[in-house]
Amino acid sequence: MTIKQALISVSDKTGVLEFAQGLAAQGVNLLSTGGTAKMLRDAGLTVTEIGDYTGFPEMLDGRVKTLHPKVHGGILARRDLPEHLETIKAHGIPMIDLVCVNLYPFAATIAKAGVTLEDAIENIDIGGPAMVRSSAKNYAGVAIVTDPEDYAPLLTEMKANAGALQLATRFGLAKKAFTHTARYDSMIANWLTGLDEGAEAKPAEAAPVPAIFPAKLQLAFDRTEILRYGENSHQSAAFYRDTTPVAGSIAAYTQLQGKELSYNNIADSDAAWECVKSFDAPACVIVKHANPCGVAIDGTLLGAYEKSFKTDSTSAFGGIIAFNGEVGIDVVNAMNERKHFVEVLIAPSFTAEAKAALAGKTNLRVLVVPISRVLNTLEFKRVGGGLLVQTPDNFTAQASGLKIVTKVQPTAQQIEDLLFAERVAKFVKSNAIVFCGNGMTLGVGAGQMSRVDSTKIASIKAQHAGLDLNGSVVASDAFFPFRDGVDVLAAAGAKAVIQPGGSMRDEEVIAAADEHGLAMVFTGARHFRH
């Protein structure tokens, strides 16, 4: 299909002049509107204003300009139906072969401080989506362009094909166009259904900040890849990214080498990455089956790795390792010396030497992810017939916010270790009990129905690793409902405990801590992670 006439009307004018020039150079007649038409004329291009084209002036402050039979007839007429062609010919309607449209800046408008409902409504495009949808529906005869990234490739294809665009190209543009309008409408729906009742009565006043949870939630994700399978081989799976992934999230990874990532690889990598990037000091996190099995901080990444590996060397085999700094050859050599098999290795960067040493491990997946502590705005969990939505767990205990509830006061070193332990427990599946000391995990108990069982498992893990729990500190992701958990961790050798508090039996638990000579601090916030 040869492009002979194009309609260009854009809000975002990035690259559109060059695109129009490229079209004109190939003999394409240009139609346009308002500011776009002026910009093209000022650049020396011959442009027909849409009002001159339709014989009907723009009206209602520009609300009505392209909503006209001469525009939509020229777009929607099927080229393969003689009766359609006869109809538009009878009414003097030329065909429009290419439509280049993007929409009023609703997102930018609602992002402004103090935006009014009136301003927001005025920045809801009507004619633009109508043209986009009309063009996309009739992709057999019309090319719809909504993304400036497509300008150059389309011009190149036209040059190579005597001004024509292939059917596959037009169909691809149509899919992108319907996605464009769907997400535009979804954004409007999310914003409007998030407003307080009565907002419509005060359109000229600053609109209230929309609710975190709109009454009608529309989501948008882009498929990155089809995965080999899901959690198990009989399940199908795919990975979708946010349309604009959160900075520093696992979705922003670049894979340097290795096999394709699996469903479980991505899930475990996310767990490791979210944990490791929460530390300021050089840190290493080893994850197995979504749980940290070793976490440590140290003066160097090598030191952090050595310490984290000691926690549970058995579980570390076949795990995911994440670092929060540049990985050097010393870390790679340490992994190689102990023949540490790893599924995925993650860091913000790797030295050239480290990359060269890793290159021979063809199956090892190596990911680079930029460091950022930005969290997702919302977290989702699918349940039967619905979706659980919550804000992220962005609470991290600080020394100044701790409440000391026992007779024994924690030392400065214990406070430091307790805060480290609390940060680790935040990423361990509930019920979580984490023994720590000297900037490393000593034993991790996770995912048990009983907190006492988690405590026992953590103690057993430490014993198997040959790690001494005497003098250690312990973090619990939620309060101790009974004193029995405190009894077990005290028997294991712990000397200080950090927990949320808030149980109806807090007094009983505190009394148990005092009885054992433990220091106990409350954070006031739990970290359930089911």
* CA separation for the pair 103, 106 (Å, rounded): 8
The answer to whether the CB of 43 falls within 8 A of the CB of 21 is: yes
| pLDDT for residue 48 | 87
Q: Is residue 243 in a domain?
A: no
Give the H or E element holding residue 342: strand 342-347
Q: Is residue 124 in a domain?
A: yes
| Domain limit, last residue, from 170, 201, 232 | 201
Q: Is residue 294 in a domain?
A: yes
Lowest mean pLDDT among 46-50, 412-416, 420-424: 46-50
What range does the domain containing 338 cover?
Answer: 248-368
- Candidates 356, 352, 354, 360; CA nearest to 321 is 354
The pTM (predicted TM-score) of the whole model is 0.87
Q: Is residue 15 in a domain?
A: yes
pLDDT in tens, 101-116: 988 888 888 888 888 8
pLDDT in tens, 127-142: 888 889 999 999 999 9
Mean pLDDT estimate for the chain: 91
Residue 59 reports pLDDT greater than 80: no
What are the structure tokens assigned to 360, written together?
């021979």
| pLDDT for residue 222 | 93
| Domain limit, last residue, from 351, 368, 385 | 368
| pLDDT for residue 43 | 92
Residues 6+ apart with CB under 8 A from 131: 7, 9, 66, 71, 72, 75, 99, 101
Q: SS3 of 155, please? A: helix
Residues 6+ apart with CB under 8 A from 370: 247, 248, 252, 348
Q: Is residue 382 in a domain?
A: no
Check whether residue 434 and residue 350 sit in a common domain: no
Check whether residue 268 and residue 353 sit in a common domain: yes
Q: What is the mean pLDDT of residues 398-414?
A: 96
* Alpha-carbon torsion (501, 506, 509, 513), positive or negative: positive
Geometric angle at alpha carbon 183, from 19 and 144, rounded to 5°:
30
Q: What is the CATH number of the domain that holds 340?
A: 3.40.140.20
Residue 383 reports pLDDT greater than 90: yes
Q: Tokens 């001159």 identify what position? A: 52
The answer to whether the CB of 71 falls within 8 A of the CB of 7 is: yes
Q: What is the mean pLDDT of residues 23-46?
A: 90
Confidence band (pLDDT; 50, 70, 90) for 60?
A: low
Q: What is the mean pLDDT of residues 146-161?
A: 94
* CA separation for the pair 250, 127 (Å, rounded): 38
| pLDDT for residue 443 | 95
Residue 202 reports pLDDT greater than 90: no
What are the respective helix, strand and coil percentages of the chain, to the nearest 5? 40, 20, 40
| pLDDT for residue 33 | 85
Check whether residue 363 and residue 450 sit in a common domain: no
Residues 6+ apart with CB under 8 A from 459: 435, 443, 445, 469, 488, 489, 492
* Alpha-carbon torsion (395, 411, 495, 305), positive or negative: positive
pLDDT above 90 coverage of the chain, percent: 73
Distance of alpha carbon 298 from its chain centroid, rounded? Answer: 29
Number of domains in the chain: 3
Check whether residue 415 and residue 487 sit in a common domain: yes
Check whether residue 255 and residue 171 sit in a common domain: no
Q: What is the mean pLDDT of residues 237-265?
A: 94
Residue 275 reports pLDDT greater than 90: yes
Residue 52 reports pLDDT greater than 80: no
Lowest mean pLDDT among 46-60, 111-125, 339-353, 504-518: 46-60
Lowest mean pLDDT among 60-64, 398-402, 410-414, 487-491: 60-64
Q: Is residue 230 in a domain?
A: no
Q: SS3 of 173, please? A: helix
Q: Is residue 132 in a domain?
A: yes
What are the structure tokens assigned to 107, written together?
């997102």
Q: What is the mean pLDDT of residues 332-344?
A: 94
Report, as residue numbers or ranges, the catalytic residues. 137, 289
- Candidates 138, 180, 14, 13; CA nearest to 32 is 13
Check whether residue 174 and residue 283 sit in a common domain: no
Confidence band (pLDDT; 50, 70, 90) for 410?
A: very high
* CA separation for the pair 99, 165 (Å, rounded): 13
What are the structure tokens assigned to 316, written together?
């570390």
Cis amide bond preceding 123, omega within 30: no
Q: What is the CATH number of the domain that holds 24?
A: 3.40.50.1380
Q: Is residue 346 in a domain?
A: yes
- Candidates 252, 334, 254, 251; CA nearest to 298 is 334
Question: Which of 241-245, 324-328, 448-452 is the most confident on average?
Answer: 324-328
